[in-house]
Amino acid sequence: MTSSKLREKCGVVGISSISMEGVVEHLYKALYSLQHRGQEAAGVAMLEGRDVRVYKGLGLVVSVLTSDVLSSFKGRMGIGHVRYSTTPGVTIEEAQPFVVKNPKFSFALAFNGTITNFLELREELAKKGVVFTTRTDTEVLAKLLAKSLVECGADYVEALRLTASEIDGACSLVLVNDEGELYAYRDPLGFKPLCVGRVNDLVVIASETCALDVLAGLDDCEYGPVDPGELVRVCEGSVERVKVASSPRRARCMFEYVYFARPDSVFDGISVYKAREGLGRELAKRFPAEADVVVPVPDSGRTAALGYSLESGMPFAEGLMKNRYVGRTFIMPGQALRDEMVALKLNVVRDVVEGRRVVLVDDSIVRGTTMKRIVRLLRRGGAREVHVRVSCPPIISACYMGIDFPTRRELIARIMKLDELTKYVEADSLQYNDIDGLAAGIGLPKNELCLACLTGEYPLTKSYEFELLEKELRKE
C-alpha cells in the first residue's frame, strides 16, 4: 500500500418505485454523487420480475455503467454500490453487489463497513460446507444471511435479525430480493451513515443525503437517518422500520465528519460542512499561529481552513491550486514518480504566499510524506514561514471498521513525537486538534463517536487478534 492519505470506503444506494420502470437511471445518478466514497468498482442489481440481475465492473461509475448497460435494465427496484475495498481483492468477483441464488430465494446485497469478525465467521461456515470464492467480508455476510434465511424459513426480517446478532463491526447494508422487497440495515453502534427518504415516487436509501438531494433536484425531498440497529423494509411504496439490534452506546465514525463524507451531506442530523467549519474554529482557539494568511490543502482542508480563518480573523486564500485531471497519486509505482505526480497535481499561487507567514490547514496526516512535499512547495513559492494545523487529532491506531489505513507501523504520529514530525515535514510549527476540540467541532459527545484510530480503544463487542486481522485486511 502506497497511500499517504486515508482512503474512502464504499457507498450504497437502494431505490424502489411504485410505478417507474427507469429506476436504474436514478441509481446511476445516486452512485455518481457518491463516487468520492469509492473509485475501484461500481455495480447495480435490479429486480426484473422474479429475477435479480446484477452488473458490475472495475472503474468509475461513468465507465462501468455505460448507456448500453443502463438501457439493458428494466425494473422498479434495485441497489447499487461504489467500492474502495478494505479487503485485498480488486477483481470483478470482489466487487458489489453480491448475489446469492437458492432454489427457495435469491437476493443481492451491498454494504459499507467491515465485518470485524468475518474471519471467524468464514471458518465456521466453511466447516459446515459453505464454499467461498473470494476473500471479502461481503461474501461472508451474504452467505451468513443465506444460512439464516434457511433457518428462518425465508423470513427476511427474522433472518436479518439473526444475522445482525452474529456480526460485529460496521455494517450499513442495502438488499433487494426476489420477493419485491428492498431492505436497509445499520449496525447498532451506527458507525457508517445511512439515510432513507422519499423523492417524488421514489423511496431512496443511500450512504449520504447528497444522493437524495441530487435525485430531488429542485423538488422537495424528505429524509432522515436509518437509526442504529434499525432494519428498514420497503415494499410497494410502504416503509416499515423495525429495531433488530441494540447497543448501550453510539460510535459514529468521526472521519465521516472530518474527511470522507461530502460537505453538502448531513450525517445523523449534523451538517458535515458545519462540522468541518467547527473543527477549524476549535483548532484556531486551541492552537493559534502568528501568521498572515490561512491556506487550505485542496480539497480536504478547505472547510476547516475557512473555520480557522473565521475564528482567528486571519484572511483565507487559495494558495494552492489542484489539477483535477491528474489521477490519484497513491497508485503510482515508486516514490520518485509519486513526487513528480504531486508536483503535477498541486501548484502554488505565488501572489498569495510570497513573503508571507502561512497557516497551512489539512484534515489529517497519515504518513507525512504528502505534507512534507506541500510544505516544500510553499517554500519554493516564497512563503516566509509555514505553520501546519491539522483538524483531526493524531492517528495512532489502525481501523478495523471500514477505513483502509496503513499498518500501525506506518502511521507517522505513532512513530514520531510532535517535534520530530515538525522537523520531518520541514514546518515552522505543527499542531493537531485535540480530541476535545474534535468533539466540540463536530457537536457530539466523545462517547457518541468512534475514536479508535486516535486512542486504540475499539468499541467492539469482543476482543480480536488484530495482528491477524490487519494482515488479512492489508492490501499489497
Whether residues 345 and 245 share a domain: the answer is no
Tell me: do 436 and 317 sit in the same domain: yes
61-87: pLDDT as tens digits: 999 999 999 999 999 999 999 998 544
Domain that holds residue 379: 274-448
Residues serving a catalytic function are: 10
pLDDT in tens, 411-450: 889 999 999 999 999 999 999 999 999 999 999 999 999 9
Q: Please indicate, yes or no, if residue 362 is contained in any of the structural domains.
A: yes
Instruction: Give the per-residue pLDDT at 331.
Output: 38
Among residues of the chain, what percentage have pLDDT more than 70?
89
CATH for 337: 3.40.50.2020
> What digits encode the pLDDT tens for the residues 231-275?
999 999 899 999 999 999 999 999 999 999 999 999 999 999 999
Same domain, yes or no: 121 and 153: yes
pLDDT greater than 60 at residue 44: yes
- Domain identity same for 289 and 414: yes
3-state secondary structure the chain: CCCCCCECCEEEEEEEECCCCCHHHHHHHHHHHCHHHCCCEEEEEEEECCEEEEEEEECCHHHHCCHHHHHCCCCCEEEEEEECCCCCCCCHHHCCCEEEECCCCEEEEEEEEEECCHHHHHHHHHHCCCCCCCCCHHHHHHHHHHHHHHHCCCCHHHHHHHHHHHCCEEEEEEEEECCCCEEEEECCCCCCCCEEEEECCEEEEECCHHHHHHHHCCCCCEEEECCCCEEEEEECCEEEEEECCCCCCCCEEHHHHHHHCCCCCEECCEEHHHHHHHHHHHHHHHCCCCCCEEEECCCCCHHHHHHHHHHHCCCECCCEEECCCCCCHHHCCCHHHHHHHHHHHEEECHHHHCCCEEEEEECCCCCCHHHHHHHHHHHHCCCCEEEEEECCCCCCCCCCCCCECCCHHHCHHHHCCHHHHHHHHCCCEEEECCHHHHHHHHCCCHHHEECHHHHCCCCCCCCCCHHHHHHHHCCC
Q: Report which of residues 91 and 301 the model is more confident about.
A: 301
Give this prediction's pTM.
Answer: 0.92
Instruction: Assign 324 a pLDDT band (cuts: 50, 70, 90).
Output: confident
Q: Could you tell me the pLDDT band of residue 336, with boundaries at 50, 70 and 90?
A: low
Q: Tell whether 48 is covered by a domain.
A: yes
Total structural domains within the chain:
2
pLDDT digits (tens, 9 = 90+) for 80-135: 999 985 444 568 888 999 999 999 999 999 999 999 999 999 999 999 999 999 98
Residues 247 and 279 in one domain: no
Which CATH number belongs to the domain containing residue 133 in this structure? 3.60.20.10
347 and 424 within one domain: yes
Does 60 lie in the same domain as 119?
yes
